[in-house]
Chains A and B, each alone.
Chain A
Amino acid sequence: MRTIDVDRSLCDNHGQCAIAAPEVFRMNTDGVLEYEPTFDDALLDEVEEAIDVCPVQAIFLKD
């Protein structure tokens, strides 16, 4: 398992992460980000992608 952290003070609810890694990130009906802080190693590529496409670099992969 891997862990991520989204810095809510940076996150601007762009929703790009939810396109790249829908299993981990989703936008609720208020347009606010919800995410799984831990995820399976198999999803690492997708999550790396989500980190790349976040326009404000709010997503951090831990260790």
Chain B
Amino acid sequence: MTRRIAVAGASMGGLRAAEQLRSAGWEEDIVVLGQESHPPYNRPPLSKELLAAPGSAAEALAAVTLRQRRTATGIDWRLGAPVTRADLSARTLTLATGEELAYDGLVIATGLRPARVEVPGPRHGRHVIRTIDDTLGLHRELCPGTRVVVVGAGFIGCEAAATATSLGCQVTLVEGGSGPMERPLGRRLSDGVRRFLAEKGVHCVSGRRVVEFLSETGDGYDAGSHLRCAGVRLSDGTEVPADVVIEAVGSKPNTEWLAGNGLDLADGVLCDESMRVIGARGALPSVVAVGDVARYPDQRTGTGARRVEHWATPADTAKIAAPALVAGLNGEAVPEPAAPLPSFWTDIFKIRIQGVGSPALAERIEVLEGDPDRPAAGAALGYYRDGRLIGAVTCALPADKQLHYRKLVTDAGVAARLAAV
């Protein structure tokens, strides 16, 4: 009988997994189950170009739909079919329709959803950015003069603030506990980015949190009502009025459907170096995870398992997971896994910040070139841990510079392997 690999999640991770399964020689069935009704599409433009100018819904989707490898044939795409439950011992999935689907191998690629700002106040008029529908809905509300409050200053918050400003909105960025992109970039460069955002017209509010969403009437809030959110109250009591609020305060892994199977779902799905999911008695031969939802050992820094929420992760992890799953299903030895080098980029007001490695784990940061206080004029920083270069970030530098610094990080080696010799 033909065997079946089920892929849960039909975004970039699900697509790259399906492609890599074919490349790894899997000729039997592949079925991909996706919650969204759209085919896999590219998310980075959702807070950048597409938010600025999406065109019609059809044009927007065409602009971001991911091209599929020509070798990825015979894949059964079931879109708009979320998985609600998995029974890993019986090897069955339950879909929202109630249908049960048996599988031999499973790929977990259900990604993340935005976390929300959990404070009292009306819901209406508050946006998040994760799907193309989010972007289309938000774009319609961003007009010249619109007062926008962005909550959270990570990549998506900073990008949304920049895009809204470029559309003529008056934007306040409520940073919360840490500065613009401070976790990946470090304090000094983050301060430089804040200065740059301010020069471009973004009003940055540091060191204060949102404690309440204000309602239209201005006299208190009513969480259950249809009242529209009219602004935010900050931890020091200040009120910032707003026509539109964008929440960009991080994300939550979509793992509820995996509950009850004895997996470690503390933060995404725990995997080994080969992306095989760890069960109660060790790595499972028939279940792998890819993309943003996977928590896997960081071999390069040797600092334990973590999730890597970058665009390059779905492709990097699918290349490791697919051959491991095929080997597991065929009872063969799992190939030696690569140690992927994480990388990310962000574009704000036409400057590009690119990073490689794990700058967020640095103990010490050094300026390699330029001036981080003026990031738009070009700068590069090195991030060190245990005296070893584990990451590099370039700002507004040409790509060949980025390749140069990337090589320095690669040459610094893989901690897990350095320790082994």
Q: CB within 8 Å of A: which of B19-54?
A: 19, 42, 44
Q: CB within 8 Å of A: which of B380-403?
A: 397-403
Q: CB within 8 Å of B: which of A17-63?
A: 18-19, 27-33, 48, 51-53, 55, 57, 61
> At the interface, yes or no: B300 with Cβ under 8 Å from chain A?
no
The residues of A that contact B44 with a CB separation of less than 8 Å are 55
The residues of A that contact B66 with a CB separation of less than 8 Å are 57
CA of A27 to CA of B223 in the docked complex: distance in angstroms? 53
- Report the interface size for chain B: residues with CB under 8 A from the other chain: 21
Q: State how many angstroms separate the Cβ of B59 from the closest Cβ of chain A.
A: 15
Taking a contact as CB atoms under 8 Å apart, the answer to whether A57 and B67 are in contact is yes
Smallest CB-CB separation from B315: which chain A residue?
A52
Smallest CB-CB separation from A13: which chain B residue?
B399
Known: A53-B315, A55-B44, A55-B345. A15 touches B402 (CB 8 A): yes
CA of A13 to CA of B345 in the docked complex: distance in angstroms? 12
Smallest CB-CB separation from B67: which chain A residue?
A57
The A-B contact count (CB < 8 A) is: 46
The residues of A that contact B67 with a CB separation of less than 8 Å are 51, 57
Known: A52-B16, A53-B315, A55-B345. A15 touches B69 (CB 8 A): no
Taking a contact as CB atoms under 8 Å apart, the answer to whether A29 and B400 are in contact is yes
> At the interface, yes or no: A2 with Cβ under 8 Å from chain B?
no
Residue in B19, B312, B402 whose CB lies within 8 Å of A53? B312
Taking a contact as CB atoms under 8 Å apart, the answer to whether A28 and B312 are in contact is no
> At the interface, yes or no: B311 with Cβ under 8 Å from chain A?
yes
Residue in B70, B345, B397 whose CB lies within 8 Å of A31? B397
> At the interface, yes or no: B126 with Cβ under 8 Å from chain A?
no
Known: A13-B398, A14-B345, A31-B397. A19 touches B403 (CB 8 A): yes
Interface size class of A (residues with CB under 8 A): 20 to 34
Residue in A15, A51, A57, A61 whose CB lies within 8 Å of B403? A15
Taking a contact as CB atoms under 8 Å apart, the answer to whether B42 and A31 are in contact is no
> At the interface, yes or no: B406 with Cβ under 8 Å from chain A?
yes
Residue in B70, B311, B399 whose CB lies within 8 Å of A18? B399
Smallest CB-CB separation from B341: which chain A residue?
A19
Taking a contact as CB atoms under 8 Å apart, the answer to whether A28 and B400 are in contact is yes
Known: A19-B406, A55-B345, A57-B67. A31 touches B16 (CB 8 A): no
Q: State how many angstroms separate the Cβ of A35 from the closest Cβ of chain B.
A: 13
Q: State how many angstroms separate the Cβ of A17 from the closest Cβ of chain B.
A: 10
Known: A53-B315, A57-B67. A27 touches B403 (CB 8 A): yes
Instruction: Known pairs A15-B399, A27-B400, A55-B42; list 9 more (Cβ under 8 Å).
Output: A14-B399, A15-B400, A16-B343, A18-B403, A28-B400, A29-B400, A31-B397, A52-B16, A55-B311
**12 cross-chain CB contacts under 8 A:** A13-B399, A14-B345, A15-B400, A18-B403, A27-B399, A30-B398, A48-B69, A52-B16, A52-B19, A55-B44, A55-B311, A61-B70
Which residues from chain A sit less than 8 Å from chain B, CB to CB? Answer: 13-16, 18-19, 27-33, 48, 51-53, 55, 57, 61
The 10 closest A-B pairs by CB, nearest first: A31-B398, A15-B399, A27-B400, A27-B399, A31-B399, A13-B399, A31-B400, A52-B315, A57-B67, A15-B403
